Amino acid sequence: MLYRENGQFKTSYRADQQIFPIVQDRIAIALLLVVAAVVIPWTAPEYLFRAILIPFLILSLAALGLNILVGYCGQISLGTGAFMAVGAYAAYNFTVRIQGMPLIVALLLGGVCATAIGVLFGIPSLRIKGLYLAVATLAAQFFTDWAFLRIKWFTNDSLSGSVNVGGLQVFGWPIDTPVQKYLFCLAFVVVFALLAKNLVRGHLGREWMAIRDMDVAAEVIGIRPVYAKLTAFAVSSFIVGVAGGLWGFVHLGSWEPAAFSIDRSFQLLFMVIIGGLGSIMGSFFGAAFIVVLPIILDNLPYWFDVPIDTALASHLTFMIFGALIVFFLIVEPHGIARLWSTGKEKLRLWPFPH
């Protein structure tokens, strides 16, 4: 397709402030949405929904939330799993304890609880900087892991400490088949992505980035670190909490704290870094990469029909995964999103070199 912006003159600041100022981009995104919402549900096989698309959507939502904290506000977090867990278990408790609690409300309330916890563990960030802050978030991680295993009330006194939900429905429509689940998640992701984008391009977003880039200068121009950091923690953990709720309710249906272990936190951090810090779109790239890569690696031998020993296969997966991450950081520390934009730049100027 011809990718040119010449002839597209902005006549108002408003027009200039759009998310996708270039017409072609707007068309592309519209097409993408149509494909996602209409074409895929009709065409894709069940496996794709259950094993790839639904996890991808939910995890990219979580990654998006994390990206606001790490990518936009520069506060490193290794405890994302914890906030997902809070979201999931809170939503669970709202559903089992309040009769006829609507699914969406429960999920959002879960997010609210996650926000509270997020802000609580965000308070140290006012005093602690950089890697030291990681320990605060790790404290959150291990504490919630423990709390949901130990405190029976959270799991509604289930004997095994694992909880399960069923009969999901929204306004009478059941959320049951893979397609329904997929569309449900898709709706959430699209809405949240839009809201998040609005935030980061508004003045709150600028305050976050200012704190990230040069906190002293930010203070001098009147930005309050307390407000900026805590709002970042709040928004981030709200989104992450909702994602956690979706992960438990829609993807797993029955879960235990292990579903939100520290491995999950690292996985999400990988997504954000590889996808691109400080980029909404990056969160999606990262999620796609991290979700899909291991599956591809697992399957490769079967596609080429060279069955290798399972143990070896998964060891290789580990190795390739690690190697790729390092490779990525070396080639493009700013992640896939940056590759994407450089690609677009080139396309804009094509065929002229500069």
Partner 1 sequence: MSLVAASTAAPAAPAVEGAPEAAVATLARRGIGEVVLEVKDISLAFGGVKALTDISFDVREHEIRAIIGPNGAGKSSMLNCINGVYQPQKGSISLRGRTFAHMNPRQVAEMGVARTFQSLALFKGMSVLDNIMAGRNLKMKTNLFQQAIRWGAAEREETANRRVVEGIIDFLEIQAYRKTPVGKMPYGLQKRVDLGRALAMEPQVLLLDEPMAGMNVEEKQDMSRFILDVNDEFGTTIVLIEHDMSVVMDLSDRVVVLDYGKKIGDGTPAEVRHNPEVIRAYLGTAH
Partner 2 sequence: MGAFLETLIGGLMAGMLYSLIALGFVLIFKASGVFNFAQGAMVLFAALAMARFAQWVPQVIGVQDKLLANAIAFVGALALMIVLAWLIERLVLGRLVNQEGITLLMATLGITYFLDGFGQTLFGSDIYKLDVGMPKDPLFMFQNVFQGGILVSKEDLYAAVIAAALVAVLSLFFQKTATGRALRAVADDHQAAQSIGIPLSRIWVIVWSVAGFVALVAGIIWGSKLGVQFSLGLVALKALPVVILGGLTSVPGAIIGGLIIGVGEKLSEVYVGPMFGGGIEIWFAYVLALLFLLVRPQGLFGEKIIDRV
Partner 3 sequence: MRLNSIRMATAIGAALLAAVAATPAAFAQAKEQFFPVLVYRTGAYAPNGVPFANGYVDYLKLVNAQGGINGVKISFEECETGYATDKGVECYERLKGKNGGATLFQPLSTGITFALTEKAPGDKIPLITAGYGRSESADGTVFKWNFPLAGTYWVAADVLVQYLAKKEGGFDKLKGKKITLVYHDSPYGKEPIPLLQERAKMHGFEFNSIPVTHPGVEQKAAWLQIRQNRPDYVLLWGWGVMNSTAIKEAVATGFPRDKMYGVWWAAAEPDVKDVGDGAKGYNGLALQHGAEPNSRVVKEVLAQVHGKGQGTGPKEEVGQVLYMRGLMSAMLGVEGVRRAQERYGKGKWMSPEQVRWGLENLTLDQKKLDALGFAGVMRPISTSCADHMGAAWARVQTWDGSKWTFTSDWLQADDAILRPMVRSAAEKYATEKKLSKRTPEDCQT
Work out whether 76 is an interface residue with partner 2 (CB under 8 A). yes
Work out whether 348 is an interface residue with partner 3 (CB under 8 A). no
* CA 77 remoteness from chain centre: 13
- Judged by CB under 8 A, the residue of 21, 39, 318, 323 near partner 3 is 318
Whole-angstrom Cα distance, residue 233 to residue 180? Answer: 31
Work out whether 215 is an interface residue with partner 3 (CB under 8 A). no
Which residue type occupies 212?
R
Do 230 and 211 meet the contact criterion of CB atoms below 8 Å apart? Answer: no
Work out whether 26 is an interface residue with partner 2 (CB under 8 A). no
Work out whether 295 is an interface residue with partner 3 (CB under 8 A). yes
- Chosen from partner 1, partner 2, partner 3, none, partner binding at 13 (C-beta under 5 to 8 Å by type): partner 1
Work out whether 298 is an interface residue with partner 2 (CB under 8 A). no
Work out whether 231 is an interface residue with partner 1 (CB under 8 A). yes
CA-angle at 260, arms to 114 and 58, nearest 5°: 75
- State in angstroms the smallest separation of the CB of 223 from partner 2: 14
Work out whether 316 is an interface residue with partner 3 (CB under 8 A). no
Return the residues of window 201-220 that contact partner 1 according to CB under 8 A: 202-204, 206-207, 209-210, 212-214, 216-220
- Chosen from partner 2, partner 3, partner 1, none, partner binding at 195 (C-beta under 5 to 8 Å by type): partner 1
> How far is the CA of 95 from the CAs of 108, 118, 158, 168, in angstroms?
12, 22, 15, 10
- State both tokens at 57: 């959507």
- State in angstroms the smallest separation of the CB of 85 from partner 2: 13
> How far is the CA of 204 from the CAs of 64, 83, 91, 208, 221, in angstroms?
16, 22, 28, 6, 14
Give the residue among 199, 339, 194 at the shortest CA–CA distance from 275. 339
Work out whether 148 is an interface residue with partner 3 (CB under 8 A). no
